């Protein structure tokens, strides 16, 4: 997953949490980057027609931006679920974030052939908990 | 270019190699199932080659992982997972297309992994030159695999 996809996913989740436009600060927090870096990338994404940015109001994904963000979130869900179900990784959130930059969507699609993912993915993703709401990870949550 | 690449530690490298092994296991298990589902001698031969090649790639990756003190997922576990979701009624075109996806995915994975290792300045617990040489050889064999399946698909058109 490239930088653009990671930004779109973060904006999508920040918008869900805000139930409206996302602040650039929230996007920067999601990605653990500086607000200046986030601002720069948001400008690029706006010029590509993937979002609208209004000063003092925040960032709003366009339909195309939403589609790409949902694809990116789905890939992320596949990586997390694969780490939990197949490799039994306890620190799967941290590792999924490390891996998402190296695991391309075609690779994620293949990993998807051996995991149990629900058809409503990625709507079941819980942004607060940073994991699919349908994935049984109670033990991992407490050990994180 | 991504936000959190490149690979910064042996742990991350081992995890990616583990994923590579699982991908090879998926290829191996799916190609085995495909070979059972078709009668065409040429396609069966291609699939059997793919199975053998994946097993060989897996062994090469396992040798590196052992040097990093990491474990791998046993093949029979992945085989069970593949079988649980395998659609047995795949037609001939579906089998060739799936095998093409297998080869293309593996190629993309190794190509990205090589790029991430080259972009990293981490000091790994395995010899970097050897590591890259193994991965480049595997990647090139996957590229040959893509070509082979594509040619076969064209022959059957």
Domain CATH code at residue B90? 1.20.1260.10
Q: Are strands A125-126 and A58-61 parallel, antiparallel or unpaired?
A: unpaired
Residue A104 in contact with partner chain B when CB distance is under 8 A: yes
Mean predicted confidence (pLDDT) in B124-153: 95
Q: Read off the pLDDT of residues A5-53 as tens digits, 9 standing for 90 and up.
A: 999 999 999 999 999 999 999 999 988 899 999 999 999 999 999 999 9
> Tell me: domain A71-143, CATH 1.10.3470, correct?
no
**Does B116 contact A102 at a Cβ distance shorter than 8 Å?**
yes
Residue B132 in contact with partner chain A when CB distance is under 8 A: no
Give the closest-approach CA distance of B121 to chain A in angstroms.
Answer: 16
What are the two backbone dihedrals, phi and then psi, of residue A45, each rounded to the nearest 5 degrees? -65, -35
**Quick one: closest CA in A to B114, which residue?**
A102
Q: Read off the pLDDT of residues A111-140 as tens digits, 9 standing for 90 and up.
A: 998 998 888 899 989 888 888 888 877 544
> Residue B15 — very low, low, confident or very high, per pLDDT cuts 50/70/90?
very high
Contacts of A19 (CB under 8 A, 6+ apart): none
The domain of B44 spans 10-155
Q: Would you say the CATH fold of A71-143 matches that of A3-66? A: no
Mean predicted confidence (pLDDT) in A97-124: 89
Residue A23 in contact with partner chain B when CB distance is under 8 A: no
The count of domains in chain B is 1
Contact A86, A115 (CB under 8 A): yes
Residue A40 in contact with partner chain B when CB distance is under 8 A: no
Give the closest-approach CA distance of B2 to chain A in angstroms.
Answer: 4
Contact A106, A112 (CB under 8 A): no
pLDDT at B88: 59
Please indicate, yes or no, if residue B96 is contained in any of the structural domains.
Answer: yes
Q: Is A76 a residue whose pLDDT tops 80?
A: yes
Domain-wise residue ranges, chain A:
3-66, 71-143
Please indicate, yes or no, if residue B5 is contained in any of the structural domains.
Answer: no
Please indicate, yes or no, if residue B102 is contained in any of the structural domains.
Answer: yes
**Quick one: closest CA in A to B84, which residue?**
A114
Contact B26, B75 (CB under 8 A): no
Kind plus residue range of the DSSP H or E element containing A125: strand A125-126
Please indicate, yes or no, if residue B4 is contained in any of the structural domains.
Answer: no
Based on the number of CB atoms within 10 Å of its own CB, is B154 exposed (0-12), middle (13-18) or buried (19 or more)? exposed
Partner residue opposite A106 with nearest CB, options B18, B26, B104: B104
Residue B1 in contact with partner chain A when CB distance is under 8 A: yes
> Residue A104 — very low, low, confident or very high, per pLDDT cuts 50/70/90?
confident
Contact A107, B23 (CB under 8 A): yes
| 3.20.20.60, 3.60.15.10, 1.10.10.10, 3.40.50.720: CATH of A3-66 | 1.10.10.10
Please indicate, yes or no, if residue B2 is contained in any of the structural domains.
Answer: no
- Residue the block writes with tokens 């904006």: A11
């Amino acid at each position: 997953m490239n930088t653009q996809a990671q930004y779109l996913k973060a904006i999508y989740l920040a918008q869900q949490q805000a139930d409206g436009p996302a602040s650039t600060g929230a996007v920067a927090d999601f990605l653990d980057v500086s607000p200046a870096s986030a601002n720069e990338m948001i400008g690029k994404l706006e010029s590509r027609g993937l979002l609208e940015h209004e000063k003092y109001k925040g960032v709003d994904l366009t339909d195309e931006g939403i589609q790409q963000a949902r694809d990116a979130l789905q890939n992320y869900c596949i990586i997390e679920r694969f780490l939990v179900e197949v490799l039994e990784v306890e620190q799967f959130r941290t590792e999924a974030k490390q891996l998402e930059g190296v695991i391309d969507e075609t690779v994620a699609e293949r990993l998807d052939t051996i995991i149990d993912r629900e058809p409503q993915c990625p709507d079941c993703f819980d942004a607060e908990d940073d994991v699919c709401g349908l994935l049984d990870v109670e033990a991992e949550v407490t050990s994180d | 270019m991504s936000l959190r690449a490149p690979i910064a530690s042996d742990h991350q490298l081992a995890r990616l190699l583990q994923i590579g092994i699982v991908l090879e296991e998926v290829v191996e298990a799916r190609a085995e199932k495909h070979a059972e589902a078709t009668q065409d001698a040429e396609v069966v031969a291609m699939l059997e080659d793919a199975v053998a090649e994946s097993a060989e790639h897996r062994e090469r990756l396992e040798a590196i992982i052992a040097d990093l003190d990491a474990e791998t997922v046993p093949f029979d576990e992945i085989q069970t997972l593949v079988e649980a979701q395998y659609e047995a009624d795949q037609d001939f075109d579906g089998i060739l297309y799936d095998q093409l996806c297998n080869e293309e995915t593996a190629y993309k994975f190794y190509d990205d992994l090589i790029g991430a290792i080259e972009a990293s300045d981490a000091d790994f617990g395995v010899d970097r030159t050897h590591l890259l040489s193994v991965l480049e050889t595997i990647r090139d064999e996957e590229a040959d695999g893509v070509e082979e399946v594509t040619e076969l698909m064209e022959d059957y058109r």
